[in-house]
Amino acid sequence: MANLWNMAARAFAAQGESIILQEIAFVLLLTIAALVAILIRRVRLPYTVALVIVGLVLALFPNFITLNISSELILAVLVPPLVFEATLAIKWRDLRGDLPLVLLLAVGGTLLSTVIVGVLVFQFLDIPLLGALAFGALISATDPVAVVAFFKQLGVSRRLSILLEGESLFNDGVAVVVFNLAIAAAATALVSQAAVSFNFLGAVGEFLRVSLVGLGVGLLLGFAVAYLVLRSIDDHLIETATTVALAFGAYVAAEQLHASGLLAVVAAGLVVGNVGLDRTSPTTRLTLDNFWEFMAFVANSLVFLLIGIRIQLGQLVQFAVPIGVAVLAVLFSRAISVYLLTALHNRLTPERLDVPRRYRHVMFWGGLRGAISLALALTIGGNLFGQTIATEMQVMAFGVVLFTILVQGTTIEAMINRLGLVQKQPAAIENQRRLAVVYARQAGRRELNRLHAEGFLYHDLWQAMNSVYDEEIDDARAALRDHLEMHPELERSMYLQTRADVVKAERNAISDAAARAFISAKVQEELLIEMDARLAALDQLLAEDGRLNEHGPAEGEDG
């Protein structure tokens, strides 16, 4: 009994020591990420690229950080916050017009890239067909984090950002589904000792089931949180905690149903960002924005540091030829999927929805690979294709990720500038700054009035602070008005956006009136149809106005 007790004590002590070591590694990585973020302010380099470089340096000191890196850690813990935070910022009005193209690129582009890369790898390398297709699937998931960061910094068109971000959000889930199908087919072939066979209709059915069930789980949980919590409870701590539970819960729930957890997170985030945050208080919205920005920063930092740490430079040299084949295959497949599918889209849609040639160039070169590709590569074991082939496929994936981040990620800014896609001129930037000041002051005064009305603020103190806000708002409005008088071309976009916001407010009021039984369902339907027509017209005018501002009158060649 004494020996058994001693063995148990040693086991608990070892487990505790392991947890402490993992915690130390986590603290070190966060500290390094913070230091990189500070230093990168002085260098014209994407933050994620700098993290990978630092990770490569850390890989030269294998005993410096001891951290168990697994695909489960990346896919189940680090990726959901990244996906959820990205979807919160995507508004349906921005995504709606280009949703068919986004889905075409995410689904059709991923499948096309999977086949092209798989066939090329199978032809030029000693990798079985199903293994090559699995590699094609895992490397087809794009991760344009560094590119989108440059978009925000340079003021590139919102539409171009939506196309790249939207494709990435959906093709992550698609790539995981296709990868799992290829791995399952390989496992079946191994067990049956049969030649490679492929049931096309069965694969399509399974793909649709996994994708649609994942989206359905995300929509169901997203609407439940949006209406039961975010629209009913005014407590920023409870609401923030609920969104965290939603981000991870949607992933887990979908995976338990053998569906796509990532697509569930995408659907849940879109619902919360577009429905749940409509009527939350300014305090809640600010808390959620800050919290999820922090979560994305931590997850991004850990993911890209882990990419650099996990890559072994010696293996990159050893498998230089397979990596070269993989990089060329990925670039070729990306070019085919982007240029072919956007050309097809341009032929089948009105001219106003065309994707300009300059956009296509950025979409091609901005298709970086990252966390999803790394996580899926780590799941490839030697039991299916042999340890040598599994290692070769993993190193190929790491090599492609490294190439896209270090080469494409560092040259994308030069391409954007060369193509003339920098949209924010000094006048437009200054207009946004002055508009933001007015918006912020008004939000502050509304919160001040709410606190006074609910009895949390004494009348004299409220009156003094309110008078200060009145002066600041008047000054900010005067500054904005003066700026618009000097730059009248900026007024049209502001007017159109304001009209769209007002119509949306009217639409919400109609739905609320119907819910309160003030009007009948028939009247509601008639009014909503009229409102939707007005919104569609305004969206078209906004799109045309944005297209004119982005491309100028000489852009007609891109049609």
Residue from 34, 21, 30 nearest 65 by CA: 21
pLDDT above 60: residue 79: yes
- Mean pLDDT of the region 226-241: 84
Query: Do 182 and 208 meet the contact criterion of CB atoms below 8 Å apart?
Result: no
Q: Which of 166-180, 200-214, 487-501 has the lowest mean pLDDT?
A: 487-501
* DSSP state letters, 331-345: HHHHHHHHHHHHHHH
Please provide the size of the chain in residues: 559
DSSP state of 280: -
Q: What angle do CA 463, 466, 467 make, to 5 degrees?
A: 85
- Mean pLDDT of the region 341-365: 88
Model pLDDT, residue 552: 43
pLDDT digits (tens, 9 = 90+) for 491-519: 666 677 777 777 777 777 887 788 777 78
- pTM for the model stands at 0.72
- Percent over 70 (pLDDT), the chain: 82
pLDDT above 60: residue 554: no
Tell me the two tokens of residue 182. Answer: 């290829």
pLDDT above 80: residue 189: no
* DSSP state letters, 42-61: GSSS-HHHHHHHHHHHHHTS
In whole angstroms, how far apart are CA 544 and each of 164, 358, 437, 538, 540? 20, 17, 27, 10, 6
Model pLDDT, residue 35: 86
